[in-house]
Structure 1
Amino acid sequence: MIYLLWSIVNLTIAFYFLYLVVGFIRKGMRIFNPKFKVVSAFVMLIGIVQVISAVNSEEKTNQITITNNYNKKNNSKIEKVKLEDNLTFDINMFVKYSIEQNQWIPIESNSSITGFVSGYDWEFTAIETDNYKPNGKAEFTANGILKWQLFGITVYNESKTFNGMIQ
């Protein structure tokens, strides 16, 4: 529930920024209510800075290479694991295996956050996993950082560790 409230706060601030921009274009300085002039100017300034800085940001892949020591000509298979299932968003992890004889060797993994993610950013930092047998399971430990952002600025970093089985 707290994730939903945080997303609503982010959306409210974003809509307030849009209201200020459109109002400033249409009415000029009269859009700023004297009671909230400082807050409105601060929101508008932070919003403009975030829009400008978003142009220069690079996209993170959240991909981790587990091993380079495998036969690239072998078949591969991708397994999906849902790390976290919330009301508003899910954190998913994919593990790619190289199929060699009777063993599935993990070669790379990536993770993503999906759903209503307003105000959050997911950074996948580490994974440990065993070799996977075709009829068995593999244990894993995955780590990441859920960044709580307010209008694009990271306010809090929540470290997350997930343990489980890949089936």
Structure 2
Amino acid sequence: MIHLLWSIINLIIVFYFLYLIVGIIRKGKRIFNPKFKVVSIFVMVIGIVQVISAANSEEKTNRITISNNYNKKNFSEVEKVTLENNLTFDINMHVKYSIEQTELIPIESNSFLTGFVSGYEWEFTSIETNSYKQSKKAEFTANGVLKWNLFGNTIYNESKTFSGIIK
């Protein structure tokens, strides 16, 4: 529930910023209500800075290479694991395996958020998993940081560790 509330707060701030932009274009500085003038100017400045800095930011892939010691000619298989299931979003992870006779060797992994992710950013930092036989299961431990953003600025970093079994 807290995740939904945080996302709604982010949306309200974005819509307020858009309202201010349109208001300045149509009415000029009369859009600023004297009661909320300081807050409005603060939201305007932060919003403009975020729009300018968004053009320079680079997208992180959240991809981790686990092993380079495998036969690249073999077939591969991808397993999907849901690390966390929230009301508004899920944290998912894919692990790619190379199929070598009866053993599956982990090659790489990536993790991502799906759902209503307004105000959140996921940074996948590490994974530990082992090779396993097709008839068995593999254990994993994955780490990452869930960043709580307010209007594009990180307010809180929440470290998360997940462990489980890949079927």
User: Under TM normalisation by the shorter chain, which class is it?
Assistant: over 0.9
The alignment's C-alpha RMSD in Å is 0.5
Q: Deviations over 1:29-73 (max 9, x none)?
A: 000000110100000000000001000110100000001111100
Tell me which residue corresponds to 2:87: 87
Match of 2:10 in 1: 10
The match for 2:30 is 30
Match of 1:77 in 2: 77
Q: Aligned partners of 1:95 and 1:88: how far apart in 2?
A: 23
Question: Within the alignment, does 1:106 sit opposite 2:115 as a pair?
Answer: no
Deviation at residue 130 of structure 1 after TM alignment: 1.3
CA–CA separation in structure 2 for the residues paired with 1:59 and 1:130:
29
Letter in 1 for 2:159: S
- Equivalent-residue separation in structure 1 for 2:60 and 2:94 (angstroms): 16
Amino acid at match of 2:89: F
Local SS of the residue matching 1:56: coil
Structure 2: which 5+ residue stretches go unaligned?
none
**Are 2:127 and 1:127 equivalent residues in the alignment?**
yes
2:38 maps to amino acid: V
Tell me which residue corresponds to 2:137: 137
Secondary structure of the 1:124 match is strand
Determine the C-alpha separation between the residues in 1 that align with 2:80 and 2:90: 12
Which amino acid is 1:70 matched to?
A: Y
CA deviation digits over 1:81-139, x for unaligned, max 9? 00000100000000000011111000100000010000000000000001122111000
Q: Deviations over 1:12-38 (max 9, x none)?
A: 000000000000100000000001101
Alignment partners' CA distance in 2, 1:142 and 1:47 = 34
TM-score normalised over the length of structure 2: 0.99
Q: Name the SS of the counterpart of 2:55 in structure 1.
A: helix
Listed as ranges, the gaps of 5+ residues in structure 1 are none
- The runs of at least 4 consecutive aligned structure 1 residues that moved more than 6 Å come to none
Distance in 2 of aligned mates of 1:29 and 1:93:
48
Total equivalences in the alignment: 167
Partner amino acid for 2:133?
A: K
Aligned amino acid, residue 127 of structure 1: I
